[in-house]
Amino acid sequence: MKKENRLNSNIPKHVLLVMERLEEASFEAYVVGGCVRDLLLGKAPKDWDIATNARPDDVQKIFPDSVYENNFGTVGIKIRNQDADGKEIVEVVEVTTYRIESKYSDKRHPDEVKFAKTLKEDLSRRDFTINALALRVSEQESVSSDQQKIEKIAGTKFELIDLFSGQEDLENKLIRAVGDANERFNEDALRMMRAIRFSVTLDFSIEKKTFLAIQKNSENLKFISPERIRDEFSKIILSSTPAKGIELLQEAGILRIILPEIESGIGVMQSHHHYYGPYNTVYKHLVASLEKCPSKKLEVRLASLLHDVGKPKSKRGEGENATFYNHEYIGERMAKDILERLRFPRKVIDKVTLLVRNHMFYYNVDEVGESGVRRVVQKIGLENIGDLIDVRIADRLGSGVPKAVPYKLRHFQFMVEKVSHDPISVKQLKIDGNDLMEELIVDPGPKIGAILAVLLSKVIDNPTLNEKENLLILATELAKSNVGELRKMAEDKIKAEQKKEEELIKKKHRVS
Ligand code: ATP
Ligand code: MG
């Protein structure tokens, strides 16, 4: 019982108060699910769930300040309180009526819910033994005011309800399905991903029968909505052992359903001199890159996992002569398709595809000068450079090289810093369209933009040109050309720079 008593100081008073009020109205009330698991693990629960035999309308009668929006039996109760400075704070506690699983025909969580009479029924529909624990406040005589209730709560005793040996599994660090694993995964296929998610976030193993049942039913993830898959996948990717998560998904047969593009890197040899022993297939390299990713951002982790996803499709030749020409562009396209399919937000997709497309950017101390670095910054955006460097570090470490940030990359960071205030956009030029119209008698129209674009390309090469007088002299000269010629000048410059970089990348990877 000692363990239970230790629990009480960790449950917020407002949660206990809600349970008290329910019990007073002769209903049952238990703290259930993930929060009990987290309490027993000594972690701070993210949210608090209370289960009760009261129906949603009963709950709303007891707590008029509440909302019942979905039809899943969950009422959100608002508790108004004061913080240390006397400011009002509103805390929400979720109270859910006991439920049982209704019939499934399509391996998805049911849209309709069936209420149940007993806690036992409610606990039996939960996914894993460690998530099927409940805590109850022991019987005590009732008191009337909220203040008295809070005082009473301070000395409260708790009773842990553990009908499926969840405590034992917590101690042995095991994820085990409640009841028959096969049936449970047939009811809701997402549970298979949740098993892997809990395994990596808690550092638990998946119990053998449970894992076998996942392997048997993995195909059913086809029926699960992309949004639900995305949320579990993101939690796996953001855990402290994301690579273990991918390997588990693979072993379970889930990866081939949700991310076949990664699965198809299995066995694809890169056998290039800079991929060491165990990292020499595309699959192993991508998993290792995710493992070594230094960033905690979802986008950067996704980009680390996906940066070479275009390699299997772009591979030409075998052995030492294999080439992966344009894999970064093929990969960008594939990353976009994957992330759209999983319904990631537009912002995430844009960022990941930018990082995948540019992960090959070339930098070498003697070959790329300040103007080259300014062009990289212009293309990628100053705000993305740090993340791109992180993908590059992941890529490097995921190839088995021992040192994360070699001199070259540190020097690149230094150069970015150095040029970070130099002009890289038309807005930063010391003249604008109005100046051109006044001084040069250029008519309003597309010619103005074309002149500014050529001026910018000159200023990127040499920022000291960015002086008003200078630019006007240059512009006067440029104004003699027509729009078509001006546009060609700017485009040719961009193409030449691109070609130069591509040549350098090719040379480095010996793929020409
Ligand atoms: P987290 O720490 O991510 O919040 P959690 O275990 O609390 O983990 P929730 O999604 O908040 O997960 O769900 C709360 C509880 O509801 C779970 O602990 C589990 O008992 C139950 N549950 C959630 N999803 C499912 C599901 N798909 N099948 C069965 N039970 C589930
Ligand atoms: Mg939770």
Using DSSP, state whether 402 is helix, strand or coil: coil
Pick the last residue of a domain from 143, 172, 201. Answer: 172
Q: What would the mean pLDDT of 47-63 be, rounded to a whole number?
A: 94
Q: Are residues 505 and 403 in the same domain?
A: no
Cα within 13 Å of Cα(329), Cβ side? 3
Which residue is closest in CA terms to ligand 1's atom 30? 126
- How many structural domains comprise the chain? 3
Average pLDDT of the chain is 89
Identify the burial level of 314 via C-beta atoms within 10 angstroms of its C-beta, where 0-12 means exposed, 13-18 middle and 19 or more buried. Answer: middle
Which atom, in ligand 1's list, is nearest to the CA of 197? 3
Residues 405 and 436 placed together within one structural domain of the fold: no
Measure 104 CA to ligand 2 centroid, in angstroms. 23
Q: What is the pLDDT of residue 58?
A: 95
Which of 205, 245, 234 lies closest to 296 in space, CA to CA? Answer: 234
| pLDDT over 50 (residue 438) | yes
Contact 304, 287 (CB under 8 A): no
Q: Is residue 122 in contact with ligand 1, taking CB distance under 6 Å?
A: no
Euclidean distance between CA atoms 305 and 391, whole angstroms: 9
Residue 498 confidence (pLDDT): 80
List of residues 6+ apart from 389 with CB closer than 8 A: 409, 412, 413
Any domain includes 217: no
pLDDT-derived band at 109 (thresholds 50, 70, 90) equals low
Cα–Cα distances in angstroms (integers) from residue 490 to residues 80, 371, 376, 379, 449, in the given order? 62, 15, 16, 15, 11
Question: Where do we find the tokens 């093929």?
Answer: 330
Torsion 348-295-255-361 (CA) sign: positive
Please report which ligand is nearest the Cα atom of 192: 1
Strand pairing report for 114-115 and 99-100: antiparallel
Atom of ligand 1 nearest to the CA of 235: 3
Please write the tens of the pLDDT for every residue from 331-384: 999 999 999 999 999 999 999 999 999 999 888 888 888 888 998 898 999 999
> 358 lies in a domain?
yes
- Per-residue pLDDT at 35 exceeds 70: yes
Q: Are residues 336 and 455 in the same domain?
A: no
Do 43 and 114 belong together in one domain? yes
Residue 97: inside a domain:
yes
Whether residues 415 and 478 fall in one domain = no
Q: At 71, which CATH number?
A: 3.30.460.10
Residue 190 CB–ligand 1 contact under 6 Å:
yes
Ligand 2 centre from 46 Cα, in Å? 6
Per the structure, the complete domain to which residue 493 belongs is given by 426-509
Tokens, residue 16: 């206990």
Q: Which of 172, 190, 208 is the endpoint of a domain?
A: 172
**From CA 414, how far away is CA 35, in angstroms rounded?**
46
One domain for residues 477 and 411: no
Is 269 a domain residue? no
Do 334 and 458 fall within a single domain?
no
Residue 52 lies in a domain: yes
Q: How far is the CA of 493 from the centre of ligand 2 (A)?
A: 55
Residues contacting residue 114 through CB under 8 Å, at least 6 positions apart: 99, 100, 101, 102
Asked if 472 and 392 sit in the same domain, the reply is: no
Specify whether 346 is located in the same domain as 469. Answer: no
Residues 343 and 460 occupy one common structural domain: no
181, part of any domain: no
Task: Dump the DSSP string for 299-327.
Answer: HHHHHHHHTTTTHHHH-BS-GGG-B-TTH
Q: Specify the residue with its C-alpha closest to ligand 1, atom 27.
A: 191
451 lies in the same domain as 313 = no
Q: Is residue 200 part of a domain?
A: no
Structure tokens at 272: 């290039």
* SS3 assignment, position 436: helix
Closest residue to atom 22 of ligand 1, CA basis: 126
Number of H helices, E strands in the chain: 26, 11
pLDDT average, residue stretch 227-247: 98
Atom of ligand 1 nearest to the CA of 126: 30
* Per-residue confidence (pLDDT) for residue 506, from 0 to 100: 73
Cα separation, 332 vs 314, whole angstroms: 12
Residue 495 neighbours by CB under 8 Å, 6+ apart: none
E strand residue ranges, 63-149: 66-67, 74-82, 88-97, 99-100, 114-115, 134-137
Average pLDDT over residues 404-431: 86
* 370 and 481 assigned to the same domain: no
Collect all residues with Cβ–Cβ distance below 8 Å to 21 and sequence separation of at least 6. 62, 63, 149
Beta-carbon contacts of residue 233 (< 8 Å; ≥ 6 apart):
193, 258, 342
Decide: 46 in ligand 1 pocket, CB within 6 A.
yes
Confidence of residue 134 (pLDDT cuts 50, 70, 90): very high
Per-residue pLDDT, 386: 94
Query: At 67, phi and psi to the nearest 5?
Result: -125, 140
What are the start-end ranges of the H helices in 84-207? 119-124, 146-154, 166-171, 181-187, 190-202
Residue 194 CA, closest ligand 1 atom number: 27
**Length of the chain measured in residues:** 512
DSSP code of 296? Answer: -
Asked whether 73 lines ligand 1 (CB < 6 A), one says: no
Nearest to 19 by CA among 80, 77, 83, 99: 77
205, 289, 309, 354, 375 from 351: Cα distances, Å: 34, 18, 16, 5, 19
Q: Which residues contact 430 (CB under 8 A, 6 or more apart)?
A: 466, 467, 468, 471
Q: Which of 399, 420, 441 is the last residue of a domain?
A: 420
pTM, two decimal places: 0.86
Statement: residue 289 has pLDDT above 80 = yes
pLDDT digits (tens, 9 = 90+) for 186-201: 999 999 999 999 999 9
